Structure 1
Amino acid sequence: MLLLLGLVSLGWNLLALPLLLLLPRPQGRAVGRAVIAGAYRGYWALARAVGLMRLEAQALDALRAEGGLVIVANHPSMLDALMLVSRLPASFCVMKSSLARNPFLGGGARLARYLRNDDPFGLLKRAVEDLRGGGQLVLFPEGTRTTEPPIGRLRPGFTLIARQAGVPIQTVLIETDSPYLGKGWPIWRVPPIPIVFHARLGRRFEPAPDTGRLLAEIEAYFRAELGAARTCESAHAPADDAGPAAR
């Protein structure tokens, strides 16, 4: 499945390069984002059809028509961005500058006007402009996949972007029953299948003048929500050894 996704990405990125020159910026951005979202939706549909993975993320559809929104989520798996963007065709992301030059991702990312992380001031300016124009910024504020469940420390930046743009912050909580493609998981290692991913909408936070305090509040919210979910799952999990009395 990952190989197929790579081939589709390579084909689209080769096509996206000439579109960068042919399409005006607004049209190119809309086409680029819609094609990426459609490709990822197709990936999830195929993965479900063959019984490998199942994505339960219908809750995100409620955000599709909303403009001007910073969407932040926890980051348990390498597939999280595919999950969110597949349901949000107007969304844009921040990418590592090395990925922006990747032949599998670069052309499509530039057409969709995704942001690079090597210019913090330019990133802030372009993110604010896009949000004020109705875009949706998808971010994983841990900065990397989760290494200390339920969530790592959140990096600052997104609360400042929300304040500058004057838009709310929508939290999304991602849960999965598998460590597949989490931090440290080898890409070639096959997990038990099917793998289930579930994304649900969390609390929405309004922008605030004190961005540091808002950051701490959002991090505490993620820890409480995800920690409670993990506790609930553990309480309902069957025991490995029920003991003689249960036999």
Structure 2
Amino acid sequence: MRKVLRQGRSVALALPLYSLLLGLGLISLGWNLAAMLLQPLLPPHVGRPLGRRVIAGAYRAFWTIASLSGMMRIDARCLDALRDEPGLIFAANHPSMLDALLLVARLPRSACIMKAGLMKNVFLGAGARLAHYIRNDSAHTMVRLAVQDLRRGGQLVIFPEGTRTVEPPLNSFRPGVTLIAKLAPAPIQTVFIDTDSPYLGKGWPLWRVPPLPLVFTLRLGERFAPSPDSAALLLQLEQYFRHSLEQSASDAPPACQTLRAPISS
């Protein structure tokens, strides 16, 4: 009987959560069908900002509904003060598949670096192409397009681990972010994503019901100026993330602040 009750409770909790995710999937599908028609018709200077604003608005609506439903608790207000600052790189840790949605929802002028395979995904591909998101299949092309976008006044969302965290608190960083910062040139604003849930982390299947509500808190870290020695800066950036995440694992994370973090040279 207890097992039956536990299963019934899991189903009752799962229905609202997966209804939310289904709604997000349907919205994404609808927009991607529209984007497929719009992309050949709109010049880049029109399609790029339109695509980014629509994606940000859809994700922000999703997070709002998820919060009002009680399924999730999200605090990402720290990004609001930076949403209109041109030529800025946001580098974040990557505990969950939902991380990009959290950042993009608050940063409507930002581009993401995406896995090349997702550019063909029916739920993401056309919208990502209209928004001029950046593929990661060619390192040279990825860096070139990211630099061009930043020089035009865009923003860049990047996860230096390259994939979701496998070895907490942090995977080793992959080269790219500090080289882009050097060539743009553009400062790197660090962002920490704190969550108490393993949901949609590496190895967590989509169908497995997590403890609810899911809690995500974003907080700003230091801002790093671009450096001529991009390899040394990458090491410094990784050490900073690792130390900060290890410290926050033992201390309660501070509330999300909207003040700009200091620049680190």
The interval holding the TM-score normalised by the smaller chain is: over 0.9
Unaligned runs of 5+ in 1: 235-247
- Who is 1:54 aligned against? 73
How far apart, in 1, do the equivalents of 2:145 and 2:198 lie?
34
> Residue type matched to 2:228 in 1?
P
How far apart, in 2, do the equivalents of 1:59 and 1:181 lie?
23
Once the two structures are superposed, residues 194-244 of structure 1 have per-residue CA deviations (whole angstroms, 9 ceiling, x without a partner) of: 11100011100000011111001011110111111101249xxxxxxxxxx
What secondary structure, in the 3-state scheme, does the structure 2 residue paired with 1:223 have? helix
- Who is 1:141 aligned against? 160
Once the two structures are superposed, residues 152-174 of structure 1 have per-residue CA deviations (whole angstroms, 9 ceiling, x without a partner) of: 10101110011000110110000
What secondary structure, in the 3-state scheme, does the structure 2 residue paired with 1:22 have? coil
**Is 1:161 the counterpart of 2:180 in the alignment?**
yes
Match of 1:63 among 82, 89, 100: 82
Q: For residue 109 of structure 1, report the CA deviation from its aligned partner.
A: 0.3
Report matched runs for 1:179-194 at 5 Å. Answer: 179-194=198-213
**Is 1:231 the counterpart of 2:234 in the alignment?**
no
Moved over 4 A (4+): none
- Who is 2:22 aligned against? 3
How many corresponding residue pairs? 234
Once the two structures are superposed, residues 63-101 of structure 1 have per-residue CA deviations (whole angstroms, 9 ceiling, x without a partner) of: 111000111000001100000000000000111111001
Match of 1:218 among 228, 237, 241: 237
How far apart, in 1, do the equivalents of 2:114 and 2:244 lie?
27
**Is 1:121 the counterpart of 2:132 in the alignment?**
no
> Residue type matched to 2:65 in 1?
L
How far apart, in 2, do the equivalents of 1:34 and 1:13 lie?
14
Of 153-162 and 18-27, the range deviating more from structure 2 = 18-27
Q: For residue 149 of structure 1, report the CA deviation from its aligned partner.
A: 1.2
Provide TM-score, normalisation by structure 1. Answer: 0.93
Unaligned runs of 5+ in 2: 1-19, 254-265
How far apart, in 1, do the equivalents of 2:102 and 2:130 lie?
20
Provide TM-score, normalisation by structure 2. Answer: 0.86
- Who is 2:226 aligned against? 207
How far apart, in 2, do the equivalents of 1:2 and 1:181 lie?
12
Q: For residue 49 of structure 1, report the CA deviation from its aligned partner.
A: 1.1
- Who is 2:6 aligned against? none
- Who is 1:243 aligned against? none
Q: For residue 119 of structure 1, report the CA deviation from its aligned partner.
A: 2.1
**Is 1:31 the counterpart of 2:50 in the alignment?**
yes
> Residue type matched to 1:177 in 2?
D
> Residue type matched to 2:223 in 1?
R
Between the aligned residues of both structures, percent identity stands at 61
Report matched runs for 1:70-109 at 5 Å. Answer: 70-109=89-128
Once the two structures are superposed, residues 82-127 of structure 1 have per-residue CA deviations (whole angstroms, 9 ceiling, x without a partner) of: 0000000000011111100111111100000001112222221111
How far apart, in 1, do the equivalents of 2:128 and 2:83 lie?
20
Report matched runs for 1:34-45 at 5 Å. Answer: 34-45=53-64
